[in-house]
Each structure stands twice: as C-alpha cells, then as structure tokens.
Amino acid sequence: MEKYGHFIAGARVAGASNRAADVFNPSTGEVKAQVALASREDMDQAVAAAAAAQAEWATVNPQRRARVMFKFKSLVEADADNLARLLSEEHGKVIADSHGDLQRGLEVIEFACGIPHLLKGEYTEGAGPGIDVYSMRQPLGVVAGITPFNFPAMIPMWMFGPAIACGNAFILKPSEKDPGVPLRLAELMMEAGAPEGILNVVNGDKEAVDAILEHPLIRAVSFVGSSDIAQYVYATGTANGKRVQAMGGAKNHGIVLPDADFDQAVKDIVGAAFGSAGERCMALPVTVAVGDGTAEQLLERLLPEIENLRVGISTDEQAHYGPVVTAAHRQRILDYIDLGVSEGAELVVDGREFSLQGYENGFYVGPTLFDRVTADMKTYQDEIFGPVMQIMRSDSMEEAITLPSSHQYGNGVAIFTRNGKAAREFAQKVNVGMVGINVPIPVPVAYHTFGGWKRSAFGDANQHGTEGVRFFTKIKTITQRWPEGDVADQSFVIPTMQ
Ligand code: NAD
C-alpha cells in the first residue's frame, strides 16, 4: 500500500513520527494509502529548509519568480488528467469537478504570474524640502497554509501561488484526507524551477497545525476549513504574533423572487446544491422562495431535476456527483437528515437509504430535499456539507434578506430575479461577503478576492487578488534626503587613517 510522507527541501521524505492515518477511496470505501502525521521535529525540519531557501529567493527579481509560475502552470496543465484522476480517487468528486478544482487553482497561478506589477511601491517627490518618500513591498519570510479536504488543488494554489511569487518560502499542511495531489503539486513546483525548500508539504493533523502556530520563524498563516478550527487557528496564531487569515464554514442562501427565470434558476440551484455532493463552501444548500406560489413553482421544476441526478463512482463520466469524503462524514450527514425530520421539516426526497450497486461500501448519500425549513431549526443553523437541500418560504424580499444577513455564516449568497433594482438593493444590503445576481456560485475570479463575513472568515485579509499580495508582504516606507553640494566635501565620506 502507498505510504505518503512529506515533501521537504525538494524531496519526498518519510518523516520522523510513527503516527499515520488512512487515506480512503470514498467510491469503494477501501483504504488506498497511509499518510504520515508529522511531529514537531518534521515541522522544524521543513521550516529550517524553507528559511534556508527564502533569503536568496527574496533577492531573485520578481520577473524571474513569475517565470517559475508560468512554467508551473504549464506543467500542471500537461499533467492535468493524472492529477484529476488522483484527486477524484481520494476526494470522491467526479473527474469534471476535479478538473474544475485544478483550473480554478491555476487561475490564481496566472494571477501570480502578474504579481511583479503589484509589488511596485509608491513614490512621492518633494514630500518636504529635498525630501522624497517611497515604499516597497517585501516578502514576510517563511509562511504557512493549512487547507481543507474539499479543494485539495485549488485552495493550496490560492495560497502558495501569491506567497511564493511575492518571494516567501511556503509550508503547506494539506488535509490528511486527500494528500496525494498537494504532494504532486510541490514536485511540479520544483520541476518548474523553484529552489528546494521554497514549497514544502508537511502532512499531519492537530499536532502539525499547532507546530505551525507556535513556530517562531513562521510569520503568517493562511487557513481554510471549518469555523471552530478557523477561530482556534486565528486566536492562537495571532496570540503568537503571526499574521493570520482564517476562512471558515458556510451556509449559503439562494433567494428566488417571483419574477425569476425559473427554468434557469432551478438548473443553477440543483447544480450548486448537489454538485460535488454539496461539499463546497460556496454550495447553495438553502433556497428561499419569496412570495405566493414561488415555492410551488420551484418544487414542480425541482423534483424532476433532483430525481434525474445520477450518483456514481468518481470516475463515472455520467455521474452528477460521487460519494462524500469519509464514512464518518456520511454518518454526520445522515444524522442531520434524521434531525431535520424530528425538528419538523418536510422531507420531500430522502437520500438516506441510497446505495450504489457494486459499491455498497462507498460513502454515498442520495439527494435529499427538505421543504418548510424554518430559521429556528438546528439543521438550518448548522453547515451540513452534504447533498441536502433546504427550502424556506418568505413573504417579501425584505424578510428574505434577513435570513442570510442574520445567519452565523456569511460566505456567499445568490439572488434570482429579473428586477435590476431589487437585485441592486439586495447586493447593497445583505450582510454576506460574496453575492451572486443570477449566479449561483459567486466565487470571484482570481484577480478579485475571495472571502466571507461573520463566522465564515476570521481576520481581515481575503484570499488572492490584491489582498493576497498584501497578506503575504509587508510594506516598508523610506524617507530620503540627499546632501547638497560636492559629495567629496561631506562628512559621511569614509574616514581614512591620514
Ligand atoms: P477541517 O476544519 O476539519 O480541516 C481543515 C484543516 O484543519 C485540515 O488541514 C485539518 O487537518 C486541520 N484540522 C482539523 N482538525 C483540527 C484541530 N482540531 N486542530 C487543528 N487543526 C485541525 O475542515 P474540512 O472538513 O477539511 O473542510 C470542510 C470545511 O472547510 C467546511 O466547513 C467548509 O465550509 C470549509 N471551507 C471553507 C472555505 C472558505 O473559503 N470559507 C473553503 C473551503 C472549505
């Protein structure tokens, strides 16, 4: 059986710890590999390798660093089929979604190719008599990223692309559930010309995370995962003097007004609720139907779409979605469906008994639909992170806005309408970080920034875009005055013994 270690100083290493975890193929339920869980000693080794490489990397001119990003992008593209297969095998998402995972990550790498432009400082001539002021952006040094299981290619690239292009060395602690692709990405980064030690992958669990949060040489930590862990990482990292951005969980609402294009909205909503088995932080698990008859119209169109969803193994090209990531996560989703029933929501489509013939041990959950969900229900307040859609009803748009606005999470939200005024007002008023107008999954493009509000993000710097560059650099401001007259006469000329 394959054993994943770490990637430190340009090579795969087994690591010093004797702790390991199973990596599953969720489609079959079988253990496909084991992954080492790092000790502090492993982390120290990775940080030492990163620190040794970073000082020189910071002096490589920005254009040359960008060339490494160009080359990395073309290497990932050339290997995309293998990477997508590996990703699907460990995560369970279908191959098309794995290609999407890689593609959205590569868009941030493309953005990183243009970072030299964003590293330029500012200049004020004549800020005082003979005085000029200028600023420069310098890398932080060694920085780290801790990533979730659900986008094992895209989210690491969100972080290490900008960080490395800015002149930092990077330690990636990916999810222990699907470590295969992150390890391959680090190998490809070396092949692209990054010096050894500039991108290291240390696999592990809480022990590795704590080693990052407490390591004195790690200057900044970027985290994406669930909210309780995000809050812990933010609190601990900042208490230790680090810059921290920590993205958390989500519960995104789709608001449907009576004038929406129902056919389009239903297709969008079904794709966004059930795609990737609902395991996306920008999934759309809640639909709020506004006005009389909207819920009925939606249900009439939703039911055939949901019944047509095909659940299959991750390599089934006809499947709309595959298994969820682990048996434990499957059980957690089933428990939430049980809870929804006991809380009094109306279970319209029940995915609990779903089983895939020939793959009975895989971690599958059938599409599930609840109607008449209300704001007091725990199944509404919590993130379920599975193929479970919840319909709510609202009398007015004003009332509908209060649902996402007062929810503990504020990652994404979407409105479906033909009314420009209503959409504009909604976008201005809603208390959520990313808004879609007739766009179900409003993940901003790479040169904008990604980040939610409330318990969906701790810290105030978003991922990628200009905020990513700011996060991974520090600004230095120089105020200068040059002496006037003959330089040879000046007192700062180096004194000699004569
Ligand atoms: P998770 O919080 O379980 O794990 C995230 C990372 O934290 C992993 O690397 C994991 O090893 C580590 N970790 C787990 N338990 C820890 C602990 N007790 N102490 C320290 N570190 C720990 O999240 P997940 O299940 O891998 O991913 C799904 C979650 O991520 C969902 O909540 C989803 O909404 C969220 N997510 C958010 C975004 C976003 O940008 N807001 C994007 C993707 C996923």
List, in order of start, the domains of the chain with CATH numbers: 2-248+456-478 (3.40.605.10), 253-437 (3.40.309.10)
229 touches ligand 1 (CB under 6 Å): yes
Give the Cα separation of 206 and 439 in Å (integer): 36
Task: Write down the residue that tokens 């070396």 correspond to.
Answer: 190
Give the number of the atom of ligand 1 that is nearest the alpha carbon of residue 456. Answer: 41
Query: In sequence order, what are the residues at sequence separation of 6 or more whose Cβ sits closer than 8 angstroms to the Cβ of residue 120?
Result: 137
Give catalytic residue positions. 281
Per-residue confidence at 485, pLDDT binned at 50, 70, 90? confident
Q: Is the pLDDT of residue 497 over 90?
A: no
Distance 225 CA to ligand 1 centre (A): 2
Percent of the chain's residues with pLDDT above 90: 96
- Cα(74) to centroid(ligand 1), Å: 29
Task: List, in order, residues 6 or more apart from 275 with CB less than 8 Å away.
Answer: 97, 283, 320, 321
Query: What percent of the chain stands above pLDDT 70?
Result: 97
Reduced to 3 states, what is the DSSP secondary structure of residue 239?
helix
For ligand 1, pick from 150, 177, 325, 471 the residue to mutate: most ligand atoms within 8 Å of CB.
150
Pocket lining: 250 vs ligand 1, CB cutoff 6 Å: yes
Distance 147 CA to ligand 1 centre (A): 6
Which residues, 6+ apart, have CB-to-CB distance to 269 below 8 Å? 254, 256, 284, 287, 302, 389, 416, 440
pLDDT tens-digit map of 460-472? 899 999 999 999 9
Q: What is the pLDDT of residue 488?
A: 57
Q: What is the mean pLDDT of residues 61-70?
A: 98
Dihedral of the CA atoms 376, 377, 381, 385 (nearest 10)?
Answer: -160
271 CA from centroid of ligand 1 (Å): 23
pLDDT of residue 491: 55
Asked if pLDDT for residue 490 goes beyond 80, the answer is no
Cα 305 to chain centroid, rounded: 29
- Assign 304 a pLDDT band (cuts: 50, 70, 90): very high
176 vs 20: CA distance, rounded Å: 9
Instruction: Report how far ligand 1's centroid is from the alpha carbon of 498 (Å).
Output: 68
Give the residue, out of 201, 205, 207, 450, with the most ligand 1 atoms within 8 A of its beta carbon, to mutate for a pocket test. 205
| Ligand 1 near 458 CB (within 6 A) | no
Q: Say whether pLDDT at 182 is over 90.
A: yes
CA dihedral 287, 449, 93, 409 (to 10 degrees): -40
If you average pLDDT over residues 72-101, what whole number do you get?
98
pLDDT of residue 489: 55
Residue 59 to residues 168, 307, 482, Cα–Cα distance (Å)? 10, 58, 26
Q: Sort residue 252 into left (φ over 0), alpha (ψ -120 to 50) or beta.
A: beta
Long-range contacts (CB closer than 8 Å, 24 or more residues apart) made by 475-479: 475/121, 475/135, 475/136, 475/137, 475/138, 476/135, 476/136, 476/137, 476/138, 477/133, 477/134, 477/135, 478/133, 478/134, 478/135, 478/136, 479/127, 479/131, 479/132, 479/133
Please enumerate in sequence order all residues whose Cβ is within 8 A of that of 489, keeping only pairs 6 or more positions apart, or say none.
Answer: none
What is the reported pLDDT for 495? Answer: 55
DSSP 256-306: E-TTS-HHHHHHHHHHHHHGGGG--TT---EEEEESTTHHHHHHHHHHHHH
- Helix, strand, or coil (residue 154): helix
Q: Using one digit for the tens of pLDDT, what is the confidence trace for 189-246?
A: 999 999 999 999 999 999 999 999 999 999 999 999 999 999 999 999 999 999 999 9
**Shortest-distance atom of ligand 1 to CA 210:** 20
Q: Report the alpha-carbon distance of residue 149 to residue 326 in Å, rounded.
A: 10
Ligand 1 binding pocket includes 281 (Cβ within 6 Å): yes
Give start and end residues of each alpha helix (H) in 23-94: 40-59, 62-78, 80-91
The mean per-residue pLDDT over the stretch 186-191 comes to: 98
Q: How high does pLDDT run on average in the chain?
A: 96
Distance, in Å, from the CA atom of 399 to the CA atom of 319, rounded to the nearest integer, reads 37
Using the atom order of ligand 1, give the atom closest to the CA of residue 225.
30
Is any ligand 1 atom within 6 A of the Cβ of residue 452? yes
Whether the model clears a pTM of 0.85, i.e. scores above it, the answer is: yes
158 and 463 Cβ atoms separated by less than 8 Å: yes
Distance (angstroms) between ligand 1 centre and the Cα of 325 equals 13
pLDDT reported for residue 484: 81
pLDDT tens for residues 155-177?
Answer: 999 999 999 999 999 999 999 99
- Give the tens place of pLDDT for each residue, 241-281: 999 999 999 999 999 999 999 999 999 999 999 999 999 99
In tens, the pLDDT along 24-48 reads 999 999 999 999 999 999 999 999 9
- Taking the C-alpha atoms of residue 185 and residue 179, their distance in angstroms, rounded to an integer, is 10
Per residue, what are the HEC states of 167-217? CCEEEEECCCCCCHHHHHHHHHHHHCCCCCCCEEECCCCHHHHHHHHHCCC
How high is the pLDDT of residue 483? 87
* Minimal-distance CA residue to ligand 1 atom 26: 148
